[in-house]
Structure 1
Amino acid sequence: MKHEYSHYFSEVVKDLKPSGIRKFFDLAASMEGVISLGVGEPDFITPWGTREAAILSLEQGYTSYTANAGLLELREEISKYLSTRFGVQYDPTNQIIVTIGASQALDLAFRAILNQGDEVLIVEPTFVSYAPLVSIAGGKPVAISTSPENGFKVTPEQLEAAITERTKAILLCSPNNPTGSMLNKSELEAIAEVIEKHDLIVLSDEIYSELVYEDEPYTSFAAVKGMYERTILINGFSKGFAMTGWRLGFLAAPSELVSVMLKIFQYTTMCAPHMMQHGAIEALRNGYHEVETMRASYRRRRNYMVQTLNEMGLDCHMPGGAFYVFPSIKSTGLSSEQFAEELLMQEKVAVVPGNVFGESGEGFIRCSYATSMQQLQEAMKRIQRFIETIKINRKEKCPAEVSN
């Protein structure tokens, strides 16, 4: 007799939906000849200098625990990096924690600040883990929808309309996953006025801050006037430094906030892997030229993808950063999920349906251009062929409507 376990489960966790990204990735992985534009992972291998530093640390026997917050040497390098690149100053002794990826940093932040029922504003379309992490921490995610008409950017007016007496925080991701939209300095300053007015905490996910393609320098939210004191800055090595599998991230915030998050970290994780931290030290000290090389390659791919998608009739805005495009597929008459499933089955191209990123993502698909140009060119040919097939089928079914 099979034992029934459901009554043991947390009600919050029981209601969580599996990741829509993983669903399509797992399906694509089971098929031969698939070109995947689905998973947000650099196609570059971690630079050799970074790998060599981790290998050397193992050979030298660095296999013990580190301080809970991470190696002081790494925290010092992170502090220098944030100061040099973004103009924000954090004390490495008590304002930085090295985490297991940026995702854990977000989890720590939510659990540290949220009480039952506290609301967190989340800008949609949004990365799939944000709302579940809020719910797991006892909070209530509140979606704010954006659209391509304003470049998928949230406005101060939208924030004002969404804030209630239960609102405690807002989560911003710029450049954004999945849209690639990036808030410039003046846009961040306008948002900051609303945040200060309502005394909110800001979780600023800046994991894509190295992958920006505009002439205007990237602005960290913590660098905006009056925001340093109320910002938990989230970043890491996965995207810009091509270190996804290393699972290293970090958070930086005022010491009072960090001390609370560190208590949670002490009981749940102890520390990030010792040898991985040595690799990250090398990446920050000597790996930046590799970042610039990757960024230039992504810029070329972005330009190609946006131009090609628009030419084939899938309206696509120009993303300011990250490595995603978010074209509209509304002209095909298919839902996001239908489009993604049929494209995968008919042409063996894996994309992510936009609806997994929130309701405002319906009618769009996310395509990652973190793959070779040759693969991207072949994928675009297959998508073009798929769209032509849709047009032919529609014409055969309803010729009068199509002709009108």
Structure 2
Amino acid sequence: MRGERPRTSLLMEDIGQALSVQYNNLVYDMKATGQDIITLSLGEAFFDLPLPEFGGLTTPALHHYSHSRGVPELRRLLAKYYETKFALPVDPDTEMIVTAGSKAAIYMTLMAVLDPGDQVIVPEPYWLSYPAQIRMCRGEPVMVPHDVPVLDFERFVTARTRAVIINNPNNPSGHVYTRAELEHLHELADRHGLLLIVDEAYNEFMPPGTGFLAAGALDPDKEHTVTVNSMSKNYGVSGWRIGYLIADQRLTDEVLKINQHLVTCAPTLLAAYLAEHFDDLLDITRPQIRRTVALRNRVGAWFADNGIDTLPGTSTFYLFASLGDSTLDSTGFAGRLLKENAISVVPGIGYGDSCDRYIRVSVGSESEDRVTRGVTAIRDLVEATTPARLPARPGPA
């Protein structure tokens, strides 16, 4: 006689799939059956890149573990990148860890700093894995609705608040935090003893002539700032899963232990390739990044001309488009758009409860012609699901 099957964690049963990944898995399944899907849901930009050739790499032992902080040469180049481009000095030997994607960097940081019941302030729209990762670390996410300005974040601080986490530039809105906003967040962190976790995975996706202010530059001693970034996005190699974090040695030493017990090290071969081709790949991707950001902002102007509002933003390759007066919520809208028009977007509900009247539109993985077809269908569906306005009744005589 068999006993009961072992149960799964109650915590994990309460955490859903990452909504953007869930939708893209559905798209992959549909494409596998031969369906043509205009994919405006992918969280990556497709660039023309040379196929990698690993034969010329000089890093020894490419098929084996590297240092668990990451391939030393890659760490040195990333440290130089942040120091020369963003005025943030970094010791590559003590203040940086290369990770298997920036998702892992964020999760391991949260694991290193949270005790059960600790709270993390999460402004909406947030990158959709933040709350799940906080819960997985036995913490409690405290959501800030998208219409609350940064200067009002202090009212969400409690005795249990441990950290604030932001995505800058923001996925899904494209908002770039101003110097005044970042200075206020640093003051908030100082005043309440909080950690400021800043996910800068889209820092290269800025409009031409626009500088990017790294949050860590306002806290060069890293007293309360953790910077997380991703080579995957800026280099157009999302599937390679190479991210990194920058923090003071006290915190990186704790994250290092987690990294060693979870994955040992980021993929040695891929990290070595990125080190050998660090500047060459940026030279290839940067013109394509500029074209992608320009397309993003043309689509934003087109939305505005067609009566569709978007949350303010000029960066990344995302737009967070309003459903206006449509009778559909974001999940219903995205489902119907996919079923009827073979166009995929991500429901806004995945980015916070205050965002259910929005959808995330990504323009990074399709041609401009197909993007145009997709956003036209979005406009048409908004119009088709918006009740006709009745004429105003005459007032009393």
**Same fold (TM > 0.5):** yes
Q: Deviations over 1:164-188 (max 9, x none)?
A: 0000111011111111111021221
**CA displacement at 1:56 relative to structure 2:** 3.6
CA drift at 1:266: 1.2
Q: Given the alignment of the two structures, is residue 247 of structure 1 paired with residue 241 of structure 2, yes or no?
A: yes
Q: Which has the higher helix share?
A: 1
2: distance between equivalents of 1:276 and 1:55? 12
Q: Distance in 1 between matches of 2:391 and 2:290?
A: 43
Residue ranges of structure 1 left out of the alignment (5+ in a row): 148-152, 396-400
| Cα deviation digits, residues 8-63 of structure 1 (max 9, x gap) | 32221121112222332233334312101001111114x328x23x4544998621
Post-superposition offset of 1:90: 1.0
Match of residue 383 from structure 1: 378
In the alignment, does 2:54 pair up with 1:63?
no
Residue equivalent to 1:138: 138
CA 1:116–1:318 in structure 2 vs 1: closer, same or farther (change >3 Å)? Answer: closer
In the superposition, relative to structure 1, how do residues 138 and 317 fare at CA in structure 2: closer, same or farther (>3 Å)? closer
Pair 337,255 (structure 1): closer, same or farther in 2 beyond 3 Å: same
Q: Deviations over 1:46-102 (max 9, x none)?
A: x328x23x4544998621111111111111111111111111111111111110000
| Further displaced range: 293-302 or 99-108 | 293-302
Match of 1:9 in 2: 8
Deviation at 1:119, TM superposition (A): 0.6
Name the CA distance, whole Å, in 2 between partners of 1:185 and 1:214.
18
Once the two structures are superposed, what CA deviation does each residue of 1:111-148 show, in whole Å capped at 9, x if it has no partner? 1111111111111111111111111111111111123x
SS of corresponding position for 1:187: helix
For residues 340-375 of structure 1, what are the alpha-carbon distances to aligned partners after superposition, in whole Å with 9 as ceiling and x for unaligned? 111111211111110111101110000001022121
2:293 to 278, 285, 299: 299
Shift of 1:317: 3.9
Compared CA separation, residues 60 and 206, structure 1 to 2 (3 A)? same
Kindly state the Cα deviation for residue 228 of structure 1 after the two structures are TM-superposed.
Answer: 2.4
Q: 1:353 to 1:402 in 2, by over 3 A?
A: farther
Letter in 2 for 1:35: I
How much has 1:203 moved relative to structure 2?
0.9
After superposition, where does 1:159-178 map in structure 2 within 5 Å?
A: 159-178=153-172
- Measured after TM superposition, the shift of residue 318 of structure 1 is 4.4
Match of 2:369 among 351, 374, 394: 374
Identity of aligned pairs, percent? 28
For the aligned residue pairs, the C-alpha RMSD in angstroms reads: 2.2
Cα pair 1:144 1:154 within 8 Å, conserved: no
Alpha-carbon distance between aligned partners in 1 of 2:2 and 2:236, rounded to the nearest angstrom: 44
Residues 1:258 and 2:252 aligned together: yes
What's the CA shift for 1:3? 7.7
Q: CA deviation at 1:215?
A: 4.1
Residue of structure 1 equivalent to 2:395: none
Q: Is the 8 A contact 1:117 1:138 kept in 2?
A: yes
Amino acid at match of 1:274: T
Equivalent in the alignment of 1:180? 174
State how many pairs are aligned: 387
Q: How does 1:251-400 map to 2 (within 5 A)?
A: 251-370=245-364, 371-390=366-385, 394-395=387-388
Residues 261-307 of structure 1, C-alpha deviations (whole Å, 9 max, x = no match): 10111111111111101122134232222232122111221122112
| 2:203 is aligned with 1:209 | yes
> 2-side partners of 1:128 and 1:210: how far apart?
21
Given the superposition, is the C-alpha separation of residues 280 and 184 from structure 1 closer, same or farther in structure 2, using an over 3 Å criterion? same
- Output the amino acid matched with 2:88: V
Aligned pair in 2 of structure 1 residues 315, 295: CA closer, same or farther (>3 Å)?
same
Output the CA distance in 2 between the equivalents of 1:2 and 1:26.
35
Q: Which amino acid aligns with 2:8?
A: F
Residues 57 and 276 in structure 2, CA contact (< 8 A), matched pair in contact too: no
Alignment correspondent of 1:398: none
- Partner Cα distance (1:265, 1:26) in 2: 27
Deviation at 1:384, TM superposition (A): 3.4
Query: Do the aligned residues in 2 keep the contact of 1:77 with 1:285 (CA within 8 Å)?
Result: no
Contact 2:126 2:166 in 1 (8 A): no
- Taking structure 1 as reference, are residues 67 and 187 closer, same or farther at Cα in structure 2, changes over 3 Å only? same
Partner Cα distance (1:116, 1:37) in 2: 37
The residue number in structure 2 matching 1:150 is none
State whether residues 314 and 331 of structure 1, in contact with CA within 8 Å, keep that contact through their aligned partners in structure 2: no
Structure 2 segments unaligned to the other structure (5+ residues): 393-397
Question: What secondary structure does 2:196 align onto?
Answer: strand
> Displacement, 1:339?
1.2
What amino acid maps onto 1:99 in structure 2? T
1:41 and 2:41 matched: no
Change (3 A) 1:354 1:227: farther
> Is the Cα–Cα contact under 8 Å of residues 308 and 379 in structure 2 kept in the other structure?
no
TM-score by length of 2: 0.91
Hey, what's the Cα distance between the residues in 2 that align with 1:266 and 1:390? 52
1:197 alignment partner, one of 191, 194, 217: 191
1:382 deviates by 2.4
- The range that moved more, 77-86 or 29-38, is 29-38
